Amino acid sequence: MTRYSFPASPRLLNAALLLATVAAAPALAAAQGAPAKLTADMERRIAAIQPSVVAWRRDFHEHPELSNQEVRTSEVIARHLRKLGMEVQTGVAKTGVIGVLKGGKPGPVVALRADMDALPVVEEVDLPFKSTVKTTFNGQSVGVMHACGHDNHMAILLGVAEVFAGMKADLPGTVKFIFQPAEEGAPVGERGGASVMIEQGVLENPKVDALFGLHVFPFETGKVVYRSGSLMASADTWRMVIRGKQTHGALPWNGVDPIMIASQMITNMQSIISRQTDLTLTPAILTVGYIRGGIRVNIIPDSVELGGTIRTFDEGVRDSIHARFRRLANALATAAGGSMSLEIDKGYAVTSNDPRLTAQMLPSLHRAVGAANVSEGRPTTTAEDFSFYQQKVPGLFFFLGVSPPGTDPLKVYPNHSPRFFADEAALVPGMKALGTLALDFLSAGRVM
**CATH code, 258:** 3.30.70.360
Question: Residue 135 phi/psi, 5° resolution?
Answer: -155, -170
Question: Residue 238 phi/psi, 5° resolution?
Answer: -135, 150
DSSP label at 187?
Answer: P
How far separated are the first and last CA of the chain, in Å rounded? 49
pLDDT tens digits, one per residue of 138-157: 889 999 999 999 999 999 99
pLDDT tens digits, one per residue of 388-400: 999 999 999 999 9
Check whether residue 225 and residue 334 sit in a common domain.
no
Check whether residue 100 and residue 220 sit in a common domain.
yes
> What average pLDDT does the segment 369-380 reach?
97
361's enclosing H/E stretch is: helix 355-369
Check whether residue 43 and residue 90 sit in a common domain.
yes
DSSP label at 381?
Answer: S
Check whether residue 161 and residue 306 sit in a common domain.
no
Check whether residue 115 and residue 157 sit in a common domain.
yes
> At 285, is the secondary structure helix, strand, or coil?
strand
Does 301 have pLDDT greater than 70?
Answer: yes
pLDDT tens digits, one per residue of 324-350: 999 999 999 999 999 999 999 999 999
Alpha-carbon distance values, 251 to 111, 246, 263, 297, 299 (Å)? 65, 10, 19, 13, 9
- How many structural domains does the chain have? 2
Check whether residue 161 and residue 202 sit in a common domain.
yes
Check whether residue 258 and residue 212 sit in a common domain.
no
Cβ–Cβ < 8 Å for 312, 318: yes
Check whether residue 162 and residue 109 sit in a common domain.
yes
Residue 11 confidence (pLDDT) = 39
Check whether residue 338 and residue 355 sit in a common domain.
no
Give the number of residues written for the chain: 448
Does 267 have pLDDT greater than 60?
Answer: yes
Residue 247 confidence (pLDDT) = 97
What CA–CA distance (Å, rounded) separates 346 from 104? 42
- How many CB atoms are located within 10 Å of the residue 292 CB? 12
Percent of the chain with pLDDT over 90: 90
Domain of residue 315, residue span: 239-348
CB-based contacts of 262: which residues, under 8 Å, 6+ apart?
Answer: 242, 291, 293, 304, 306
Residue 392 confidence (pLDDT) = 98
Does 253 have pLDDT greater than 90?
Answer: yes
Q: Which candidate, 320, 5, 25, places its Cα nearest to that of 163?
A: 25
Q: Domain boundary residue among 321, 348, 375?
A: 348
Does 20 have pLDDT greater than 60?
Answer: no
Q: Domain boundary residue among 348, 372, 391?
A: 348
63-101 residues labelled b (16+ CB within 10 A) or e (exposed): bbbbbbbbeebbebbbebbeebebebbbebbbbbbbbbb
Across 5-9, 74-78, 132-136, 383-387, least confident range: 5-9
Cβ–Cβ < 8 Å for 402, 217: yes
What CA–CA distance (Å, rounded) separates 109 from 393? 11
Percent of the chain with pLDDT over 70: 93
Q: Domain boundary residue among 299, 331, 348?
A: 348
What CA–CA distance (Å, rounded) separates 164 from 295? 62
pLDDT tens digits, one per residue of 25-37: 333 333 468 899 9
**Residues labelled as active-site residues:** 348, 424
Give me Rg for the CA atoms of the chain. 24
Provide the β-strand partners of residue 20. Answer: none
Check whether residue 334 and residue 360 sit in a common domain.
no
Does 47 have pLDDT greater than 80?
Answer: yes
Q: pTM of the entire structure?
A: 0.89
Check whether residue 61 and residue 207 sit in a common domain.
yes
CATH code for position 82: 3.40.630.10
What CA–CA distance (Å, rounded) separates 283 from 291? 25
Residue 33 confidence (pLDDT) = 84
What CA–CA distance (Å, rounded) separates 36 from 42? 10
Provide the β-strand partners of residue 230. Answer: 352
Question: Residue 244 phi/psi, 5° resolution?
Answer: -120, -135
Q: Is the peptide bond before 172 cis (omega within 30 degrees of 0)?
A: no
Residue 34 confidence (pLDDT) = 86
Check whether residue 53 and residue 130 sit in a common domain.
yes
Cβ–Cβ < 8 Å for 196, 389: no
Confidence of residue 411 (pLDDT cuts 50, 70, 90): confident
DSSP label at 186?
Answer: P
> At 393, is the secondary structure helix, strand, or coil?
coil
